[in-house]
């Protein structure tokens, strides 16, 4: 069974700082990995999708990496802004099964302060 | 391009009642999956429908059920509501898992 842990659980940083969010998983048999953000009481917004064969993906100030051998994915946010404040979730789609079933991490609650 | 639409946004129900939630996926997406989010358990997979057939199922009791229509719209039903069913229910649609998943804004269910 896939276990997904995100560290830290909460993070507070000043505006402009570069930061890294971590996601650890126990089963390397993943199909792909997706990072989401969630604003309070809202749905999930997709940020980046990394296929199993890829090492990283970039979108604007965001960069996500995937290292299956170590069971880790990281989300790098450059030059953080108050609008980045949200909960960030990583989610895995497994190789087995073929269907759409995501296993989510525990989330990192980020607060970017002025 | 319209996103994933979930209705209603908020619901308040009494214990023992039943409830039906609706999800309209992005046009062309045939897969619809449902998730329950609670502060204690986080996001948990309920089930997935593809072309009107349940393709995957999570570890939830039989009180939780769903269906999908020929236009890919999906409904989720919870019978005999319990206080612990209070949660944010999220629906996600996908064209193919190679392209990832798009989530709706969710339905906030409160059971009193």
Which residues in chain B show pLDDT less than 50? Answer: none
Q: Which of A13-17, A50-54, A93-97 comes out lowest in average pLDDT?
A: A93-97
CB-count burial class (<10 Å; 0-12, 13-18, 19+) for A26: exposed
Nearest to A34 among B4, B35, B100 (CB): B100
B positions 67-96 inside 8 Å of A (CB): 88, 90, 92, 94
Structure tokens at B43: 């996001």
Residue-level pLDDT at B49: 95
A positions 81-110 inside 8 Å of B (CB): 89, 91, 93, 97-104, 106-107
As a whole number, mean pLDDT of residues A14-39 equals: 94
Could you list the beta-strand ranges (E) of chain B.
5-7, 10-13, 19-24, 31-38, 42-50, 53-57, 64-68, 74-78, 87-94, 102-103, 107-111
Nearest residue of A to residue B94, measured between CA atoms: A100
Residue-level pLDDT at B30: 93
Nearest residue of A to residue B4, measured between CA atoms: A43
């Amino acid at each position: 069974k896939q276990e997904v842990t995100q560290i830290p659980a909460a993070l507070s940083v000043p505006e402009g700082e570069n930061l890294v969010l971590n996601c650890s998983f126990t089963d390397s048999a993943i199909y792909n990995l997706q990072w989401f953000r969630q604003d309070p009481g809202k749905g999930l917004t997709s940020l980046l999708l990394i296929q199993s064969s890829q090492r990283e993906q970039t979108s604007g100030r965001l960069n996500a990496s995937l290292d299956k051998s170590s069971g880790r994915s990281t989300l790098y946010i450059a030059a953080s802004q108050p609008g980045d404040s949200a909960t960030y979730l990583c989610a895995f789609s497994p190789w087995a099964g073929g269907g759409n079933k995501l296993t989510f991490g525990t989330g990192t609650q980020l607060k970017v302060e002025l | 391009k319209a996103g994933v639409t979930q209705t209603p946004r908020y619901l308040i129900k009494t214990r023992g009642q039943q409830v039906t939630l609706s999800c309209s996926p992005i046009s062309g997406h045939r897969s619809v999956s449902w998730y329950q989010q609670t502060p204690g358990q986080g996001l948990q997979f309920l089930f997935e429908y593809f072309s009107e057939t349940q393709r995957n199922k999570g570890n939830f009791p039989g009180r939780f059920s769903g269906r999908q229509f020929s236009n890919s719209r999906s409904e989720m039903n919870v019978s005999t509501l319990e206080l612990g069913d209070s949660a944010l229910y999220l629906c996600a649609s996908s064209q193919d898992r190679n392209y990832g998943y798009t989530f709706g804004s969710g339905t906030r269910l409160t059971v009193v």
